[in-house]
Structure 1
């Protein structure tokens, strides 16, 4: 049975959104680089987790594995109860597209398309008719406070507004998990606070968030904190 088939057969049982067991990632050298060394982590539905660590600590490697953009060298990664390690690339793409939303430091918006079009692109392969996709995209933009900017292009928006568009794009498909990589890294203090306030709202609405950052102020907003050092994860009290 493929992961895609398991998705359709999955019942109402609630699983952790993320389960990592003994996860490693080694990049061959010489010398070999051990980016992750036996990482263990459980993230339950509705958790708001920050993963904090300095440059070179393994944050980016962990993000790529959590987002199904890379595979671990060893260990197990279950996403919403489904094993991902041996899944085909098409199954991994289906999981990534249907269950994970991404927010990056750089906004990755198409500069010559409207704000609404940028959000609509995230629904392109959903199988939902365009009229319904447009409705969902508008709702997502209203949710992040940009209902009045739908016809604008990204170049006419502030940095904080562009990140809000990126967040709307990430949540329009109602993912199980939102992954944010240094989401305030390109923003000033005021806009950073606004984005973190929005994450707080999404968390209160029940969305599961993992924010990867080096910023203690950003990390402190989460209800759970994990530190990554030399590829090892440690829960912070």
Structure 2
């Protein structure tokens, strides 16, 4: 009897980019992202750090299926998304990716509960299920006591946590955050980062794009982008299922 291949049982990475570049026509042509090779495994907390103009936003758009690479391959949960139709990419984006932006993008005259549930309304999720899931997700980010408030009555940190709840309610594979503390003071920023720490501890996969070293150091893996090129920590870590020692602690610590 032939033994099973142990690698066959390993869940594919959430994100796998191979040779991904994105250029924009000129003149002169702009190479915004160059030959990116990066893998993010389930449960990882990765920060992508770089200054303004480094290619962070372009990389976010590629990761979030908001744009297509000029060259290279991108697999999301093992699915090659590079050549999919826009309709299929939109479906995958709604099902598997949650977005958190610097600007909260909340509807000011809808309650917190309604803001969180709106994405499910468009997918025709029944009202009772929408309410139950929205309440549970708001409890998850520490805002169960704010469900009937309007966003304009909340602090900046609370509004960002509502935005996080809205991103989480669809139970995505990947949470993408773009400068999530950029509009917050230090106290509110800390509250948001503590939510990310908690979500990471629960096993959610996070990729946080930032220019802030303090924010990036909260992640267990840091990737730097400069002039569209990734460096530092882009080597693939051993999957957690294979890297754990007998006591359950990861044997391979990711470089910072």
TM-score by length of 1: 0.93
Give secondary structure in 2 for the equivalent of 1:218: helix
Which of the numbers 147, 154, 173 marks the counterpart of 2:144? Answer: 147
Partner of 2:117: 120
Partner of 1:4: none
Q: CA deviation at 1:126?
A: 3.6
Q: CA deviation at 1:215?
A: 0.1
CA RMSD of aligned residues (A): 1.3
- Quote the Cα distance in structure 1 between the aligned partners of 2:148 and 2:167: 19
- Quote the Cα distance in structure 1 between the aligned partners of 2:97 and 2:23: 24
Does structure 1 residue 108 correspond to structure 2 residue 105? yes
Deviation per CA, 1:64-92, whole angstroms, max 9, x where unpaired?
01000011101000000001111001100
Deviation per CA, 1:182-233, whole angstroms, max 9, x where unpaired?
0000000011011101100000000000000000000000000000011111
- Quote the Cα distance in structure 2 between the aligned partners of 1:14 and 1:121: 31
- Quote the Cα distance in structure 1 between the aligned partners of 2:61 and 2:53: 14
- Quote the Cα distance in structure 2 between the aligned partners of 1:72 and 1:160: 34
Does structure 1 residue 230 correspond to structure 2 residue 227? yes
Partner of 1:135: 132
Pairwise mapping of residues 171-190 of structure 1 onto structure 2 (< 5 A)? 171-190=168-187
- Quote the Cα distance in structure 2 between the aligned partners of 1:38 and 1:234: 11
Partner of 1:91: 88
- Runs ≥4 residues deviating over 4 A: none
- Quote the Cα distance in structure 2 between the aligned partners of 1:217 and 1:69: 27
Partner of 2:67: 70
Deviation per CA, 1:62-120, whole angstroms, max 9, x where unpaired?
00010000111010000000011110011001100000000000000001111000000
- Quote the Cα distance in structure 2 between the aligned partners of 1:172 and 1:197: 18
- Quote the Cα distance in structure 2 between the aligned partners of 1:124 and 1:173: 11
- Quote the Cα distance in structure 1 between the aligned partners of 2:121 and 2:18: 34
Which of the numbers 145, 159, 162 marks the counterpart of 2:159? Answer: 162
Q: CA deviation at 1:177?
A: 0.2
- Quote the Cα distance in structure 2 between the aligned partners of 1:135 and 1:69: 29
- Quote the Cα distance in structure 1 between the aligned partners of 2:40 and 2:10: 16
Partner of 1:27: 24
- Quote the Cα distance in structure 2 between the aligned partners of 1:209 and 1:138: 22
Gaps (5+ residues) in structure 1? 1-11
Q: CA deviation at 1:128?
A: 2.9
TM-score by length of 2: 0.87
Deviation per CA, 1:115-146, whole angstroms, max 9, x where unpaired?
00000012124443210111000000111111
- Quote the Cα distance in structure 2 between the aligned partners of 1:129 and 1:150: 19
- Quote the Cα distance in structure 1 between the aligned partners of 2:104 and 2:125: 25
Partner of 1:9: none
Partner of 1:8: none
Partner of 1:221: 218
- Quote the Cα distance in structure 2 between the aligned partners of 1:83 and 1:128: 28
Does structure 1 residue 210 correspond to structure 2 residue 193? no
